[in-house]
Amino acid sequence: ESMAASPGTTGTQAAVFEAVGSELVRKALEGYNACLLAYGHTGSGKTYTMLGENWVDGAWTGTSSSSASVGTPRVAPSGVQEKAPLLDFEEAAAAANSPGSGLLPRTLDAVFTALRQDPAAVCVASYYEIHNERVRDLLAPTRPVEAPCWQDGGSGGQQPDSPTSPGGKRTKVHFHPRFGAFVAGVEEVHCENLGEALRLVAIGSQARTTAATAL
């Protein structure tokens, strides 16, 4: 067994990003699929590594008492359930590379920094979970859209019965011969900047299925 890098117990968030995130951003912008995966038992630091010290239970708590990502849920024009106005995430965007910021804010900041070099570039985001072999759209949590995750079409996966959600929407993992695996039927939201992307991170993270993990 071997590993490319190990920052150790004294490693900084910036060091972790340089060892892991920066290369993934470069490859993703070149057209490759990229994945950041945090694995470990409850309390091992997965959320801290991915989001950082200013996020609690998926919510942006801010670097001052004036910012918070919780509020009265409402439905945005796009159909995405919104838990905070975008203004609340201007501070989150500004703090994306602060010492306590995790992999995801730093990675998104690097992506949007690169996209600014191309005026024609468009960023579209989705956020879903695959839990117990079923896909759930986390940007539309009030509209149940769970469905068995694999369907025939070159995926190599199983083809179970595929019930339609109450809203008539299906979410499944498909396989494209050129682009690889993707999930169809989930909410796709255009993001103009880092703040908009971090707002979606907060909305989806607070809708995730969570439970204690024992290894």
Which residue positions form the known binding site for ATP?
Answer: 40-47
Q: CB neighbours (10 Å) of residue 132?
A: 10
Task: State the residue for tokens 């306590």.
Answer: 100
Q: Return binding residues.
A: 40-47
Rg (CA), the chain: 18
Amino acid code (one letter) for 30: E
**How, if at all, do strands 172-176 and 74-75 pair?**
unpaired
Contact in structure between 150 and 161 (CB atoms under 8 Å) = no
Three-class SS of 177-205: CCCEEEEECCCCEECCCHHHHHHHHHHHH
Coil/strand/helix, residue 26: helix
Pair of tokens at residue 191 = 């993001």
Contact in structure between 6 and 92 (CB atoms under 8 Å) = no
**How, if at all, do strands 180-184 and 172-176 pair?**
antiparallel
Pair of tokens at residue 168 = 């008539």
DSSP class of residue 37?
Answer: -
